[in-house]
Amino acid sequence: MNIYVKLAYTLLGLLIVINWGMLMGATMRKIGARMAGRHGIPFHQPWINLLKNFSTRTTITHGIMYYLGPVFRLSGGVGLFLFMPMVFTGAVDGPWTNFSFEGDLVLILYFQVFGMLGMALGAGEGGHPYSAMGIARGLAQHAAVELPLTLAIVSIAIQYDTLSIYKIVEAQQGSILNWVLFTNPFAAAAIILAMLGALGHSPFNLVKAPNEILIGPATEYEGTYLGFMMTAGAVIHVMEAVLFMNLVFGGANSWLELIVKSFLIYFWSVFVGMVFPRFKIEQSITWFFKVPFVLGVLAILMYSF
């Protein structure tokens, strides 16, 4: 495919992802409000907030890394999108495969960490006295999440003898029984549990810690920087759901299928967050080193002999 045509499809796909991420976020907030007996925000509120923030300037001055934090966060989300095959079309160079390549699974795992590390550096240069607490919580929990998640992903790579996300999706075509959910249930279970921490809803929303201490990034960032963070959040939530969809649930053969599957995957974390209260940091880390870690080890052993 011509590089300019490929770039046009990629930019169109990014626009779809941003808008779907904001709509999905508004929908989840609406669901949470209704469960709490409230009306909730209007569905168009994220777009109003985004326009308002990008039209506002701030006079607060911190270090350079403070301003680069939201940029790193958005770069991590856009990086996930650029190298993630979105819709399976049967052709490696199809219109919605973006710039995926052999070995893109390793790069995707790096991009998952990139945005979080950028925000940690940015918060470290902020003026909030509890920023260090938020950084410590976030990085400690992220390490605990990544261990079972990486074990499960490695077992899938061993199972299909590839580090290409496209080829993993291709191997799951033909029948629902070909999904990793059924062919490698230990890896699927480890990923489904680990994604609760990756998506960051209760009981694993330790960085923002609502109603406890105001350490969330929104308490320090405003204006354009907060707008970058909102855009990054919309992209990252969709792309993490798409990653789990590609690895476990057979990928998507159309944008409609992608929207439905990513919604259900994201709703899983929201549902758990509505049922369970937030963990303490020691409870969160211990939880990931129990069942998800054991399932990840079993997934490795299943395809190592």
User: Residue 51: is it exposed, middle or buried by C-beta count within 10 angstroms (0-12/13-18/19+)?
Assistant: exposed
Residue 50 near residue 231 (C-beta atoms within 8 A): yes
Who wins on pLDDT, 208 or 213? 208
With both helix axes pointing from N to C terminus, report the angle between 223-248 and 3-35 in degrees, rounded to the nearest 10: 100
Q: Is the pTM of this model over 0.75?
A: yes
Split into its structural domains, the chain has a count of 1
Q: What is the pLDDT of residue 218?
A: 59
Q: Residue 131 and residue 120: Cα distance in Å, rounded?
A: 9
Q: What is the distance of C-alpha 287 from the center of its chain?
A: 20
Q: What is the pLDDT of residue 211?
A: 56
Structure tokens given for 151: 């074990």
pLDDT classification of 64: cutoffs 50, 70, 90: confident
Helices (runs of H) and strands (runs of E) counted in the chain: 12, 0
Burial 183-218 (b: 16+ CB within 10 A, else e): bbebbbbbbbbbbbbbbbbbbbbbbbbeeeeebbbe
Q: Residue 141 and residue 285: Cα distance in Å, rounded?
A: 6
Mean pLDDT computed over 229-241 = 91
Contacts of 126 (CB under 8 A, 6+ apart): 62, 66, 220
DSSP state of 174: S
Q: What is the distance of C-alpha 238 from the center of its chain?
A: 6
Domain that holds residue 118: 3-302
The lowest-confidence range among 25-34, 100-109, 114-123, 163-172 is 114-123
pLDDT over threshold 70, residue 219: no
Residue 148 near residue 288 (C-beta atoms within 8 A): yes
pLDDT classification of 249: cutoffs 50, 70, 90: very high
The total of other beta-carbon atoms located within 10 Å of residue 113's CB is 14
Q: What is the pLDDT of residue 167?
A: 94
What is the percent of the chain where pLDDT is above 90? 50
Residue 260 near residue 48 (C-beta atoms within 8 A): no
DSSP state of 162: -
Q: What is the pLDDT of residue 260?
A: 95
Q: What is the pLDDT of residue 217?
A: 56
Q: What is the pLDDT of residue 188?
A: 95
pLDDT classification of 210: cutoffs 50, 70, 90: low
